[in-house]
Structure 1
Amino acid sequence: MIYIDGSYGEGGGQVLRTSLTLATLTGTPLRLDRIRAKRKKPGLAAQHLTCVRAAAALCNAECKGDALGEIALDFIPQTPPQPGEYLFDVTTAGAVSLIVQTVLMPLALTPGESLIALRGGTYVPFSPPVPYLQQVFLPLLERMGVSATVELVKWGWYPRGGGEIQLRVTGGGAPRGLQLRDRGELTQVRGLAVVTELPSHIPQRMANRAENVLRDAGLYAKVEPRREKGIAPGAALFLTAEYERSFAGCGALGRKGLPSDRVADMACEALLQFHHSDAAIDRFLADQLLLPAALASEESHYRVADVTLHLTTNAWAIEQFGLAKIHCSETEKIISVYPTG
């Protein structure tokens, strides 16, 4: 049994998700203690508990401590990961993208087709929004040999949730390594300004503002305004920068009292900050690529915008399973992943 201290480094949910993924893939019994110890409310919240139950469903794991608020968990896989059709409901606005992070690689490495319906929050604070998965994360994973798509069925916002996505995975291959020190020239910037249960002039205003701000900065962008389905009011702007060899994504959430122009400004400021750097990978994608890189058949090297605590914590969690050695250069901002499996 592998013991993981959930308070290590950032002490958040990423240690839990990475550990569950690798325990599911390797069949290794896992004991997690002090789960999310450095968060305001430690222990398993609804989205983390859903990650546990999703991983357990894939490998028929026996679990002890799989309850809301628990700070210790025993997770004992009984079978290899099983492809198929699954439904997982967070029941809150917890981010469905974090469930995707947990189940994607076990299914991608297992021969067979899988369809997973996930319900919860599709665009919530401090988590990758679904457009990020669709336009940044999964397209780059496709270049590494991982075949998966996400369809957004219904939007869900904090605090109501109620969103839904469908994840399709074609499994059976081993991911390739990633060599991405230079992103190349910018080829296009596109965006999505979306609202639910709000007037249609709001997404149009966000889209116009974003296009104007980026044009003033020398970037041409096409931002699509949409009024979509959802059970509660919500608004967001998401921008994708596509380069010759990479992608980057930045967004901003609306909230009551925050002008739509300010939402657009926030997303544009984040995108321009990345664009004016020499990074090939944005700070959010940097740690999300560690798992597929660690499971690849070749080593990986990529230049990131920042070596964050989130990234180094995830690297530590992966190394506990002995599947890869990971080096994070603070000076050159190069992440090197050397698979050992």
Structure 2
Amino acid sequence: MIIIDGAEGEGGGQVVRNALALSLVTGEPFRITNIRGKRAKPGLMRQHMTAIEAACSIGNAECSGLAVGSLEIEFRPGRVEPGDYHFSVGTAGSTGLVLQTILMPLIAAGKPSRIFLEGGTHNMMAPPFDFIERSFLPIIGRMGPRVEARLIRHGFYPRGGGKIEVVISPSRLAPIECTDRGQAISCSATALFAGLPFGIADREISTARKLLDWPDNAFAVRQLPEDLGPGNVLLLESAFEHVTEIVTGFGKLGVSAESLAKTASQRMSGYLGSTAFAGPYLADQLLLPFALAGGGSFTTVKPSQHARTAADVIAMFTGKRFEFEQLADGSHLVAPV
């Protein structure tokens, strides 16, 4: 059995999610202690519970210690069964992070699956639906599997209530090289809001327009039905031939529209000013499929502690270690070895 200290490295929930996915793929049981040991509120939260329950459901697995606030679990995987599944986080907990847990095992299962996930679709500390659909899944498509995602209803923090549908047509993951973005195709900045004053989104777009050297028609405000709110998110998207980067700013109390837009715009400018293929969040997502494919490489900006911790967990289950090599242009080449 693999023993994991959840307080090592980045010390967050990604350790749990990656361990679950890898356990289901490899058949290796694990025990994790000190779950989310570096968070202000350690232990399992509702969205982690849903991810574990989803892993148990698709993988005929057994898990002890499963409770909100639990600091330790033991997970024993069974056989992954493809099929139709419906999971609800029950709060604004991220649907994307639950998908992150079960996607690779279902891709490896060999037959199609359809997943409905309810909860948060646009919330802090998690990839929003737009990122999953347009940044991450197209790369998975280039590796072989076809995964289609559909946003049925937005779900903002703290209300939640969002819903997505994901259809998985599996195929063996093939190694690919992701070191060239290709030519720029398009760019856009969209401020979404629901149940909040129009002025918040308008100020976000006005600030982004001043900071990004993009054409006027790239900027837009989109009002969603009031009953989906309150909620607000700024999406900055830059599409290239081979990759799309999406930077997100999430509205929250105590953070001005101008500050939110400035931070997001600076992050996008940093990416555009580099030669890296993947931004920091896409790099996090690519580690697991690249390890399971057994090869390939991608370039990214400076690897985060989040990414290095994910690489350590992957090595425990697969024996595959990642090299993070800094290149002359400041980007980093990432490859399993």
Give the TM-score normalised by structure 1: 0.91
- The question of whether the paired residues in 2 share the 8 Å contact of 1:251 and 1:266 is answered with no
Q: In structure 1, give the amino acid aligned to 2:246.
A: G
Q: Report if aligned partners of 2:144, 2:173 keep a CA contact under 8 Å in 1.
A: yes
Q: Distance in 2 between matches of 1:137 and 1:160?
A: 26
Secondary structure, aligned partner of 1:112: coil
Shift of 1:194: 0.9
Distance 1:78 1:307 in 2: 33
Preserved contact between residue 145 and residue 175 of structure 1 (Cα < 8 Å): yes
The structure-2 alpha-carbon separation of the partners of 1:106 and 1:166, relative to structure 1 and needing over 3 Å to count, comes to: same
1:220–1:138: structure 2 CA closer, same or farther, 3 Å change rule?
A: farther
Q: Residue type of the partner of 2:236?
A: L
In structure 1, the partner of 2:310 is 314
One-letter code aligned to 1:309: Q
Q: 1:182 aligns with which of 180, 183, 194?
A: 180
Selected match of 1:266 from 263, 267, 270? 263
User: Is the Cα–Cα contact under 8 Å of residues 146 and 168 in structure 2 kept in the other structure?
Assistant: yes
Tell me: CA distance 1:129–1:38, structure 2 relative to 1, closer, same or farther (3 Å): same
Secondary structure of 2:318 counterpart: coil
Range with bigger deviation, 235-244 or 152-161: 152-161
**In the alignment, is the contact (CA less than 8 A) between 2:290 and 2:297 conserved in 1?**
no
Following superposition, the deviation at residue 185 of structure 1 comes to 2.9
Distance 1:9 1:250 in 2: 24
- Asked whether the equivalents of residues 36 and 43 of structure 2 are also in contact (C-alpha less than 8 Å), the reply is yes
Mapped to 2, the partners of 1:212 and 1:149 lie a distance apart of 35
Partner residue in 1 for 2:276: 279
Letter in structure 1 aligned against 2:192? V
Following TM superposition, by how much is the alpha carbon of 1:162 offset from its aligned partner in structure 2, in angstroms? 1.8
Query: Which residue in 1 is equivalent to 2:111?
Result: 112
Q: Deviations over 1:181-225 (max 9, x none)?
A: 2323322112332111234565455445534542xx356762443
Q: What is the letter of the counterpart of residue 239 of structure 2?
A: E
Give the equivalent residue in structure 1 for 2:77: 77
- State the secondary structure of the residue aligned to 1:165: strand
Closer, same or farther: CA 148–189 of 1 in aligned 2, 3 Å: same
Q: In 2, distance between residues paired with 1:311 and 1:221? A: 35
The residue number in structure 2 matching 1:288 is 285
Give the 4+ runs in structure 1 shifted more than 6 A: none
Q: How does 1:56-205 map to 2 (within 5 A)?
A: 56-79=56-79, 81-171=80-170, 173-200=171-198, 202-203=200-201
Q: 1:220 to 1:305 in 2, by over 3 A?
A: farther
Indicate the residue corresponding to 2:238 in structure 1: 241
Letter in 2 for 1:270: R
Distance 1:303-1:43 versus aligned 2 partners, 3 A rule: same
Shift in alpha-carbon separation, 1:211–1:144, aligned structure 2, 3 A:
farther
Aligned counterpart, 1:23: 23
Q: Give 1:105 deviation, angstroms.
A: 0.7
Q: d(CA) in 2 for partners of 1:259 and 1:2?
A: 45
- Alignment partner of 1:295: what SS? helix
In 2: Cα distance, 1:5 partner to 1:178 partner: 32
Extract unaligned runs of 5+ from structure 1.
Answer: none
- Any idea what SS the aligned residue of 1:307 has? coil
Once the two structures are superposed, residues 257-313 of structure 1 have per-residue CA deviations (whole angstroms, 9 ceiling, x without a partner) of 5444443333222111110112111011112101100111x5112111111111110
CA distance in 1, matches of 2:81, 2:255: 45
1:99 and 1:281 mapped to 2: Cα distance?
22
CA contact (8 A) 1:174 1:295 kept: no
Aligned residues: 333
Paired with 2:92 and 2:18, the residues of 1 have a C-alpha distance of 21
Structure 1 residues 118 and 161 mapped into 2: Cα distance closer, same or farther (>3 Å)? Answer: same
Residue 326 of structure 1 corresponds to: 322
1:299 match: 295
Q: TM-score, normalised by structure 2?
A: 0.92
Q: Which amino acid aligns with 2:20?
A: L
Which residue number in structure 1 is paired with residue 33 of structure 2? 33
Q: 1:62 to 1:258 in 2, by over 3 A?
A: closer
Percent identical pairs in the alignment equals 35
Structure 1 contact 189–220 (Cα < 8 Å) conserved: no
Consecutive unaligned residues of structure 2, counting only runs of 5 or more, are none
Shift of 1:57: 0.5
Partners of 2:190 and 2:219 within 8 A in 1: yes
User: Cα distance 1:330–1:66, how it changes in 2: closer, same or farther (>3 A)?
Assistant: farther
Whole-angstrom distance in 1 between the partners of 2:216 and 2:322:
37
SS in 1 for 2:38: coil
